[in-house]
Every structure is written in structure tokens, then in C-alpha cells.
């Protein structure tokens, strides 16, 4: 067997790292600890796969494509499907490998040293990470005690810091709270910032902001196929914005960023999205059922959610959130997400809605553990 080279022993490593921006070296990477659970409820994925008949239609199209050729420079089939579904012109649409890539692109063209970005927190950590990688400054606005958005504070922070961008995840990850139409309109109309609306979970609840786009050119809406569209493994997302703004964001997007597997699958799934609607409705209904069940368990406080997940706090003095997390995994093979390191979420765990059987197993496990710990 060939012996592996150990690059950490290179005497020139410090010289190489010297050229990395200090602001980047001081940051932590976005990571996720690997587990192999029996029931996986930690990443807000759909518990249901794309229907087999729909997969077969996609696979038939893939088989006819030459794999030795680059995909189209412009993923026009995907973009046209988005345009048909949203009634937004194709010139105002960008598609990418998940909405994360579009978050990065938008912040790349708007944020630089000294530029302020307003971010209500806790929220998806990528917003802060990408802002700081680009040299910007985060104006953090805490959520309210009930984890809802503080609209007045968001507006105040944007005015005070002359913010270039306000990032709003609605429904919010990890809290589940959602902004209403009047709140989004108020934030937009009372500030001069670009409003970046990440609506990755909107199919499960909350206000659909797409109808607001036409009259508000500072509004940008992001969507993903990783949640309601059951395509987390293929990585697909899209952005809707005024065509002039989309043209500028396009400059930060890598060429050929959409492979033809994703282009074909996303376009077909979007055009056949009615086939996925029953799964989305079931997930939302299961989220509500889990919410009511957790509310009835002594020692837990669960927050309302418009997404496909819930955050709950372990308030019992007899068990910590870490002990509950560990026991769920060790004794029942159930993996949830420990979100206790987020601001305001001490002692909190997050669970996404799975199948009926998975949710029953989770609820049974939590009831059993909490009952035992309560004595």
C-alpha cells in the first residue's frame, strides 16, 4: 500500500496561510457532525422521496443526454419551468446548486469591507458566515422572547447602520417563525436596503412573497428544492428578482453551475409539483401533531412553527437537553438537532417532521425519557 503524504508536516504551511484574509481565518466553518441513526430527523429534509413514476420520467430524459458534453451554459429548461410556476420573467430568474449558492452570490455582489448587513438572529448561520467572509459587518437583531421577528428593531438597525442588505429567513431556520405580508412590506418600505428573503420552507406555511416582487425592485426571493420538493440530494434552488438586479448577481455565479442531472430533474419536478402536494400537506399536518404532543409533555416548551420542523426547550431540572439528545440517539436510534449553541436557544433541540411512523417513534421516546426523568 502506498504511504500517504502528511501535508501538515510541510514547513511552508504558515507561509501559505499568511495569504488568507485574517477575517476568514478567525471564522469557524459551517459543519455538521456525522451520525448513522435509525431515524434521521435533524436536517429538515422531506421524509418522502420523489415518486417512482416521476423518477422514471426523469431518468428516461437523462438517458438521452450525452454525458460527455457540458450542460447548457444557461439552464433554460429549468429557468423556463420556474418562470411558468411563478409567473416571473425568465430574465429575473437565476438557478443554482441549492439556494445556498445564491445566498453566496447575492452577498458577494453587495457586501464588502465596512458594509452592514442586518440579520435577525438566531437564524441560518450561513448568512453571517458569508457576510464576514466578504468583509462585511453583521448588525444582529435578536428575535423576541417568543422567537418571533422584531420588525421595529430590524428597521431601526438598518437605518442606524445604513445597511446594504437585510436578510430575512421566513419561515426562519431554526426558530420556525414567519413574517406576514404587512411585516415584509413595512421592512421594505421603511428602509433603503436590499431585502433578501430566504423562503426555503414557505411551502409548509407562511406568506408567499412572490406577488410582492413586481412593485418592489429591492426585494429578492430565494427558493429551494431541498425541502418540499424532496430533492435535497440533487441540490437545486432559484432566485427571483428584478431583471436588472438578477443580471448583476449573475456575475458572481460560476459558469456551468447547474449539471444536466439537476436541470432535467428540477424542471420535471417543478412542472409536476402537484404530485408532491399531498406529501407537503401531510408533513405540515405532522408538524402540527408533533407540536401538540410535545406541548403535553411536562418539562418541555415547544415554539410555534410555519416550517417542517419544531424547536423545543428542555426546561426540566432533572434532565438536560444534552442528556435527552444522547438518550434519543443511543437508546432509540433517533437523531435530532442540538441547536443550543445558537443565541437565545440554550437547552433547545430541533426536530423535523418525518413519516407518521418516525414521528410516533420520536414522540414515544421523548415521553418515555421525560417520564423516567421526572420520577
| pLDDT of amino acid 19 | 63
Q: Find, among 297, 292, 301, 296, the residue nearest to 353 by Cα.
A: 292
Alpha-carbon distance of 46 to 209, in angstroms, equals 22
Pairing of strands 300-302, 309-314: antiparallel
More confidently predicted of 98 and 314: 314
Q: Using 50, 70 and 90 to split pLDDT, how confident is the model at 15?
A: low
What ranges make up the beta strands (E) of the chain?
39-40, 93-96, 116-121, 137-142, 165-169, 194-198, 219-224, 237-240, 300-302, 309-314, 334-335, 337-338, 348-352
Q: What is the pLDDT of residues 37-60, one digit of tens each?
A: 899 999 999 999 988 999 999 899
Residue pointed to by grid coordinates 428542555: 314
Rounded to 5°, the CA angle 317-320-324 comes to 125
More confidently predicted of 65 and 146: 146
Judged against a pLDDT cut of 60, whether residue 176 lies above it is answered with yes
Instruction: Give the C-alpha distances (Å, rounded to integers) separating 95 from 32, 38, 90, 99, 220.
Output: 25, 34, 10, 8, 13
- The pLDDT of 145-167, averaged and rounded, is 97
On the question of a common fold for 23-49+277-374 and 52-272, the answer reads no
Domain ranges of the chain: 23-49+277-374, 52-272
More confidently predicted of 358 and 273: 358
CATH of 52-272 among 2.60.40.1930, 3.30.1860.10, 3.40.640.10, 2.120.10.80: 3.40.640.10
| pLDDT of amino acid 152 | 98
Find how far residue 155's CA is from the centre of its chain. Answer: 23
Q: Which long-range contacts (CB under 8 A, 24 or more apart) does 361-364 make?
A: 361/39, 361/332, 361/334, 362/39, 362/41, 362/290, 362/328, 362/334, 362/336, 363/290, 363/293, 363/294
The phi-psi region of residue 162 (left if phi > 0; otherwise alpha if psi is between -120 and 50; otherwise beta) is left
pTM: 0.90
Alpha-carbon distance of 16 to 146, in angstroms, equals 46
| pLDDT > 90: percent of the chain | 74
Q: Using 50, 70 and 90 to split pLDDT, how confident is the model at 2?
A: low
| pLDDT of amino acid 371 | 92
- The pLDDT of 31-36, averaged and rounded, is 70
- The pLDDT of 140-169, averaged and rounded, is 97
| pLDDT of amino acid 24 | 73
Judged against a pLDDT cut of 60, whether residue 164 lies above it is answered with yes
- The pLDDT of 308-320, averaged and rounded, is 96
Q: Using 50, 70 and 90 to split pLDDT, how confident is the model at 16?
A: low
Strand partners, 221: 197, 240
CATH topology of domain 23-49+277-374: 3.90.1150
Q: Find, among 358, 368, 364, 309, the residue nearest to 337 by Cα.
A: 309
Q: Using 50, 70 and 90 to split pLDDT, how confident is the model at 11?
A: low
- The pLDDT of 146-169, averaged and rounded, is 98
| pLDDT of amino acid 225 | 87
* Rg of the Cα atoms in the chain: 22
Judged against a pLDDT cut of 80, whether residue 63 lies above it is answered with yes
Q: Using 50, 70 and 90 to split pLDDT, how confident is the model at 35?
A: confident
- The pLDDT of 8-30, averaged and rounded, is 66
Amino acid at each position: 500500500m502506498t504511504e500517504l503524504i502528511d501535508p501538515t508536516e510541510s514547513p511552508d504551511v504558515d507561509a501559505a496561510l499568511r495569504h488568507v484574509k485574517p477575517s476568514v481565518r478567525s471564522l469557524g466553518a459551517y459543519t455538521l457532525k456525522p451520525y448513522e441513526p435509525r431515524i434521521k430527523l435533524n436536517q429538515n429534509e422531506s421524509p418522502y422521496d420523489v415518486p417512482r413514476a416521476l423518477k422514471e420520467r426523469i431518468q428516461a430524459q437523462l438517458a438521452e443526454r450525452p454525458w460527455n458534453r457540458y450542460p447548457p451554459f444557461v439552464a433554460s429548461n429549468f429557468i423556463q419551468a420556474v418562470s411558468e410556476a411563478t409567473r416571473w420573467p425568465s430574465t429575473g430568474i437565476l438557478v443554482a446548486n441549492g439556494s445556498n449558492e445564491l445566498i453566496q452570490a447575492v452577498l458577494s455582489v453587495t457586501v464588502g469591507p465596512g458594509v452592514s448587513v442586518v440579520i435577525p438572529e438566531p437564524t441560518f448561520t450561513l448568512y453571517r458566515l458569508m457576510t464576514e467572509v466578504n468583509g462585511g459587518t453583521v448588525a444582529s437583531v435578536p428575535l423576541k422572547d417568543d422567537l418571533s421577528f422584531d420588525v421595529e428593531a430590524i428597521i431601526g438597525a438598518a437605518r442606524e447602520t445604513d445597511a446594504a442588505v437585510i436578510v430575512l429567513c421566513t419561515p426562519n431556520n431554526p426558530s420556525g417563525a414567519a413574517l406576514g405580508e404587512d411585516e415584509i412590506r413595512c421592512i421594505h418600505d421603511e428602509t433603503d436596503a436590499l431585502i433578501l428573503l430566504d423562503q426555503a420552507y414557505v411551502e409548509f406555511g407562511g406568506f408567499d412573497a412572490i406577488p410582492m416582487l413586481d412593485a418592489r425592485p429591492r426585494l429578492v426571493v430565494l427558493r429551494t428544492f431541498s425541502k418540499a420538493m424532496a430533492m435535497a440530494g440533487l441540490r437545486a434552488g432559484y432566485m427571483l428578482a428584478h431583471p436588472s438586479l438578477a443580471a448583476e448577481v449573475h456575475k458572481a455565479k460560476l459558469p456551468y453551475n447547474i449539471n444536466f442531472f439537476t436541470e432535467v430533474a428540477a424542471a420535471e419536478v417543478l412542472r409536476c409539483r402537484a404530485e408532491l402536494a399531498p406529501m407537503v400537506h401531510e408533513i405540515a399536518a405532522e408538524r402540527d401533531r408533533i407540536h401538540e404532543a410535545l406541548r403535553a409533555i411536562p418539562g418541555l416548551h415547544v415554539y410555534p412553527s410555519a416550517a417542517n420542523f419544531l424547536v423545543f426547550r428542555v426546561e426540566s431540572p432533572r434532565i438536560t437537553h444534552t442528556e435527552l439528545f444522547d438518550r434519543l440517539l443511543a437508546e432509540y436510534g433517533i437523531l435530532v438537532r442540538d441547536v443550543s449553541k445558537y443565541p437565545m436557544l440554550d437547552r433547545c433541540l430541533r426536530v423535523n417532521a418525518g413519516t407518521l411512523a418516525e414521528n410516533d417513534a420520536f414522540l414515544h421516546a421523548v415521553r418515555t425519557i421525560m417520564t423516567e426523568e421526572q420520577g
